[in-house]
């Protein structure tokens, strides 16, 4: 009997340890933001208002997690309608032809200080490139409705010219590098 119980316990632990958790973006508590230098003297801030994504984890950390995100390019919002329409045009995102930007993870690693580096494929317009970004894992807790939520954030730079966003290629008026700040809270499904 003891042998049967131990076998059952080890089997149950194996199932639990290999169980996958799927977390989906909570748009009410997440944001996709950017800053870009303008005229070399100031910055324009913006965000994308429509995005979705999921993270698949094995356990309660980001170890071996898989990430997948989609941003609707037509939802770009800088607070200035005329500028937003220009950003939606072929000069920038060309939303008619390329309505989304995507990110699919390749791997995630943790260093000895418990800092994560996420590597994946970022696709903007007709270009996809591998990027590596630092990830700060906020942890897992329960929200007011008693559902488990996971939080993380990342900040990194993207050279817009690498993704065929060629307006002002000198970078004199609109800088080449864009600072990206992502804050995500995801709900366990």
CA 176 to chain centre: 21
- Phi first, then psi: give them for residue 5, nearest 5 degrees: -65, -45
Query: pLDDT digits over 53-66, tens only?
Result: 999 999 899 999 99
Cα-atom radius of gyration of the chain, to the nearest Å?
20
pLDDT for 172: 96
Dihedral angle, C-alpha 58, 130, 167, 52, nearest 10 °: -10
Q: Per-residue pLDDT tens for 101-133?
A: 999 999 999 998 889 999 999 999 999 999 999
Please report the pLDDT score of residue 15 as a whole number: 46
Q: Where are the domains of the chain?
A: 20-188
CB-based contacts of 130: which residues, under 8 Å, 6+ apart? 106, 119, 120, 121, 122
pLDDT tens sequence across 157-186: 999 999 999 999 999 999 999 999 999 999
What is the value of pTM for the model shown?
0.87
Q: Are 158 and 180 in contact (CB under 8 A)?
A: yes
Give CATH for domain 20-188.
2.40.128.110
Q: Is 7 helix (H, G, I), strand (E, B) or coil?
A: helix
Handedness of CA 141, 143, 144, 145 (dihedral sign): negative
């Amino acid at each position: 009997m003891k042998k049967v119980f131990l076998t059952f316990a080890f089997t149950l632990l194996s199932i639990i340890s290999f169980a996958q958790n799927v977390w989906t973006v909570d748009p009410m508590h997440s944001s996709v933001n950017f800053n870009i230098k303008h005229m070399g003297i100031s910055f324009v801030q913006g965000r994308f208002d429509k995005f979705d994504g999921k993270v698949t984890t094995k356990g309660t950390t980001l170890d071996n997690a898989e990430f997948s995100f989609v941003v609707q390019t037509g939802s770009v919002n800088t607070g200035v309608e005329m500028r937003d329409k220009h950003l939606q045009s072929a000069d920038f995102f060309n939303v008619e032809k390329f309505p989304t930007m995507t990110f699919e993870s390749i791997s995630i690693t943790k260093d000895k200080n418990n800092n994560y580096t996420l590597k994946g494929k970022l696709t903007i317009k007709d270009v996809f490139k591998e990027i590596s970004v630092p990830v700060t894992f906020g942890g897992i807790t329960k929200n007011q409705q008693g559902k488990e939520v996971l939080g993380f954030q990342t900040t990194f730079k993207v050279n817009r010219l690498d993704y065929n966003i060629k307006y002002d290629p000198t970078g004199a008026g609109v800088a080449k590098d864009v600072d990206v700040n992502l804050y995500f809270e995801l709900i366990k499904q």
